[in-house]
């Protein structure tokens, strides 16, 4: 179709009328090499809104000049890009101009990779000579985001692997979670892989069916699918000291099979095992009761009395979606949650917007960058405790207090018609102390006449409803348990036995998982975890990004083993302990260890085990290469 696709000049001009001008300026610089596009009067105004104003703060005159220049470039088929990969120095200048802020130089190589100017794992692009089909394969548990990312790199290296996927399709948590309203809380142009073809997301925040379709397409494009055994579970894995390999039992509909693997990778993540509360009387409920991640197919809610237990991310997506369909909706809240207003959450990406992303050179890359940056590291500095801050009971620092006031104002304004709801919905802890949620119609839903928010503790489930403190009974035909996941299980749920029969579950007990970089554990040679301890994101960013970082590190470690004829690679206790101590010390400075805070990020000992304290660029740098000095290696 070429640069202009099938559009004529007037149609291209109309499409440019909807372009993000900060992105269009970067396109002009790529295409012409003219530095004037990175200088005044063509410097965008800094905009920290989650979805920024496309006009970028420019006057009408400057807007016309940018669009006119872009129109001439796009309609001239004789023009080819002057700059393809800008390199680290030039991309830094471009990023600073695009955002209107002083981006640190350390972000340049990371963003070149994330924008596709260099490929993921660019340090390990060549096939490993010693990797043959006769090698024992790498065994991966799970074909979700992490499994697809790692499989992509192993394919490039020519390293044999097998993915055991318990479900009937790839996708992991996105295949399992199909509840009404299910979607991503990070814009999809950031919540996507840095590799593969562009996907035509219909909205900034896409719904679950599109994310699932994207993951299926990604697995096919990257040639990962032929390596997946569907409806197959790893029921146990034991380290064989004599053979220096993992002996794993795979269970499928056809029976059990034992295989040998050179390495074992857990790609099951943190949000895959539902947490189902033990509520008295639940077994006697006459209607349907289920966890949100196990939504029954073809379930009709029309005219039913529905109860939702829990007010986390899933509940905040389900309730606004079903409220107008049900006869009544009773929501049981244990604690109030902070939710950020997202004015353009449901905005579609127009046909013109899709055309720009598909046909304008470099537009999709820089559009991804702007989304990635606004959901990246900008918030993290304001999640650190200020020891001199005089109001620690409500916030951590001056900026955190401002965020609290902004969200408080949003709640009080949204619920002004029902003042009694304001007290129920105002959290008592500092903003971001728990996973921050997005208001995609939550408060509006609470105002509906058929919706009731109950803040009394659930005490019992009876045959036809739910009882709360004070023996209050409310009828229910259907009960939805939006009660989260067993975050601390991670790889331990795979029944893994390491050196000397050491159990990973016992090593991590009681609910205290730890790993070097969140990836490797002493006593468990050739074992790697993805989305493991302290790799979650509490300040922003994308799980696809961290999956790529971990995949890069693991692929590099396995390549190092093959190239150096290493049969056993085990992280040292010293490297592990040093990293964990550094992580814990950093968390002591942050919001999740603030006095009085309770969050699923912390365990019963008060230790933050789920999320990382690092910037995205820190984790990216840490996982570029596996450092041989961190490991005890045994040669063949």
Mean pLDDT, range 337-351, rounded to an integer: 90
pLDDT of 570 above 80: yes
Rounded CA-CA distance 482/116 in Å is: 37
- Can you give the pLDDT at residue 51? 86
Question: Which segment of 8-12, 307-311, 435-439 scores lowest on mean pLDDT?
Answer: 435-439
- Can you give the pLDDT at residue 1? 35
- Can you give the pLDDT at residue 126? 67
Which class is 129-272+486-635 in CATH? alpha beta
pLDDT of 475 above 50: yes
- On the 0-12 / 13-18 / 19+ scale of CB atoms within 10 A, 10 is exposed
Q: Is the peptide bond before 510 cis (omega within 30 degrees of 0)?
A: yes
Percent above pLDDT 70 for the chain: 97
Query: Phi and psi at residue 625, in whole multiples of 5°?
Result: -145, 150
Half-sphere exposure at residue 635, Cβ-oriented, CA atoms within 13 angstroms: 3
* Residue predicted with more confidence, 521 or 8: 521
pLDDT of 8 above 50: yes
* C-alpha triplet 452, 455, 460: angle, nearest 5°: 95
pLDDT of 5 above 80: no
- Can you give the pLDDT at residue 561? 94
- Can you give the pLDDT at residue 95? 98
- Can you give the pLDDT at residue 2? 45
The band of 135, judged by pLDDT with boundaries at 50, 70 and 90, is confident
The band of 125, judged by pLDDT with boundaries at 50, 70 and 90, is low
Rounded CA-CA distance 67/16 in Å is: 6
State pLDDT tens for residues 575-608: 999 999 999 999 999 999 988 788 889 998 899 9
pLDDT of 358 above 70: yes
Mean pLDDT, range 497-511, rounded to an integer: 95
* Residue predicted with more confidence, 1 or 254: 254
Counting every residue, how long is the chain?
636
- Can you give the pLDDT at residue 596? 78
Beta strands in 27-149 (DSSP E): 138-141
Mean pLDDT, range 344-357, rounded to an integer: 93
- Asked whether the beta carbons of 571 and 557 are under 8 A apart, the reply is no
Rounded CA-CA distance 456/28 in Å is: 58
Domain range list for the chain: 9-105+347-374, 129-272+486-635, 282-338+390-481
Q: Name the architecture of domain 282-338+390-481.
A: 3-Layer(bba) Sandwich (3.50)
Helices (H), 76-144: 87-99, 107-114
The band of 124, judged by pLDDT with boundaries at 50, 70 and 90, is low
Query: Phi and psi at residue 501, in whole multiples of 5°?
Result: 75, 15
- Can you give the pLDDT at residue 6? 63
Rounded CA-CA distance 191/207 in Å is: 12
Rounded CA-CA distance 87/107 in Å is: 12
State the chain's mean pLDDT as an integer.
94
- Can you give the pLDDT at residue 3? 60
Rounded CA-CA distance 226/215 in Å is: 15
- Can you give the pLDDT at residue 509? 92
The sheet carrying 255-261 orders its strands as 255-261, 245-252, 233-240, 496-497
pTM of the prediction? 0.95
State pLDDT tens for residues 527-564: 999 999 999 999 989 999 999 999 999 999 999 999 99
Start-to-end CA distance of the chain, whole Å, equals 54
- Can you give the pLDDT at residue 133? 61
Mean pLDDT, range 453-461, rounded to an integer: 96
- Asked whether the beta carbons of 418 and 446 are under 8 A apart, the reply is yes
- Can you give the pLDDT at residue 132? 66
Q: Which of 110, 112, 105 is nearest to 87 (CA)?
A: 112
pLDDT of 22 above 50: yes
């Amino acid at each position: 179709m070429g640069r202009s696709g099938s559009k004529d000049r007037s149609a291209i001009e109309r499409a440019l009328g909807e372009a993000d001008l900060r992105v269009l300026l970067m396109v002009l610089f790529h295409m012409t090499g003219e530095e004037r596009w990175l200088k005044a009067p063509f410097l965008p105004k800094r905009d920290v809104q989650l979805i920024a104003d496309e006009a970028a703060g420019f006057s009408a005159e400057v807007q016309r000049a940018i669009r006119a220049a872009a129109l001439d470039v796009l309609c001239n088929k004789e023009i080819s890009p002057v700059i393809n990969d800008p390199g680290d120095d030039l991309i830094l200048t471009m990023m600073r101009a695009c955002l209107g802020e002083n981006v640190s130089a350390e972000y340049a190589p990371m963003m070149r990779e994330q924008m596709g100017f260099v490929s993921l794992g660019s340090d390990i692009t060549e096939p490993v000579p010693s990797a043959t089909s006769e090698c024992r394969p790498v065994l991966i548990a799970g074909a979700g985001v992490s499994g697809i990312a790692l499989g992509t790199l192993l394919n490039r290296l020519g390293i044999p692997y097998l993915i055991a996927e318990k479900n009937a399709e790839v996708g992991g948590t996105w295949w399992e979670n199909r509840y009404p309203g299910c979607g991503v809380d990070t814009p999809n142009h950031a919540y996507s892989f840095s590799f593969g073809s562009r996907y035509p997301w219909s909205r900034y925040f896409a719904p679950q069916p599109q994310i699932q379709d994207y993951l299926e397409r990604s697995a096919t494009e990257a040639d990962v699918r032929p390596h997946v055994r569907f409806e197959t579970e790893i029921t146990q894995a034991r380290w064989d000291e004599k053979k220096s390999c993992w002996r794993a039992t795979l269970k499928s509909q056809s029976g059990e099979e034992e295989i040998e693997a050179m390495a074992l990778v857990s790609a099951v993540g943190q949000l895959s095992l539902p947490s189902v509360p033990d509520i008295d009387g639940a077994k006697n409920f006459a209607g349907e009761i289920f966890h949100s991640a196990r939504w029954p197919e073809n379930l009709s809610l029309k005219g039913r009395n529905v109860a939702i237990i829990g007010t986390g991310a899933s509940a905040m997506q389900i309730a606004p979606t079903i409220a107008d369909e049900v006869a009544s909706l009773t929501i049981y809240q244990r604690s109030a949650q902070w939710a950020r207003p997202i004015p353009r959450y449901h905005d579609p990406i127009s046909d013109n917007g899709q055309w720009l992303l598909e046909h304008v050179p470099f537009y999709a890359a820089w559009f991804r960058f702007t989304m990635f940056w606004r959901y990246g590291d900008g918030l993290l500095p304001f999640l650190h405790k200020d020891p001199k801050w005089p109001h620690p009971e409500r916030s951590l620092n001056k900026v955190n207090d401002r965020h609290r006031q902004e969200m408080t104002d949003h709640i009080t304004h949204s619920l002004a018609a029902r003042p009694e709801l304001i007290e129920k919905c105002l959290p008592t802890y500092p903003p971001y102390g728990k996973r921050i949620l997005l208001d995609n119609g939550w408060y509006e839903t609470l105002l509906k006449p058929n919706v009731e928010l109950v803040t009394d503790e659930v005490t019992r489930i009876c045959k036809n409803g739910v009882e709360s403190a004070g023996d209050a009974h409310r009828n229910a035909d259907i009960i939805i348990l939006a009660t989260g996941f067993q975050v601390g299980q991670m790889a331990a749920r795979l029944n893994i036995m390491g050196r000397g029969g050491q159990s990973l579950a016992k090593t991590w007990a009681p609910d205290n998982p730890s790993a070097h970089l969140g990836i490797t554990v002493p006593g468990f040679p050739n074992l790697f975890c993805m989305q493991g301890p302290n790799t979650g994101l509490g300040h922003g960013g994308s799980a696809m990004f961290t999956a790529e970082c971990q995949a890069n590190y693991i692929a590099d470690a396995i390549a190092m083993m093959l190239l150096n004829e290493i049969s056993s690679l085990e992280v040292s206790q010293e490297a592990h302990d040093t990293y964990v101590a550094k992580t814990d010390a950093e968390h002591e400075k942050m919001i999740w260890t603030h006095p009085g805070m309770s969050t699923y990020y912390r365990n019963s000992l008060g230790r933050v085990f789920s999320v990382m304290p690092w910037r995205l660029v820190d984790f990216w740098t840490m996982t570029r290469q596996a450092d041989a000095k961190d490991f005890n290696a045994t040669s063949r």
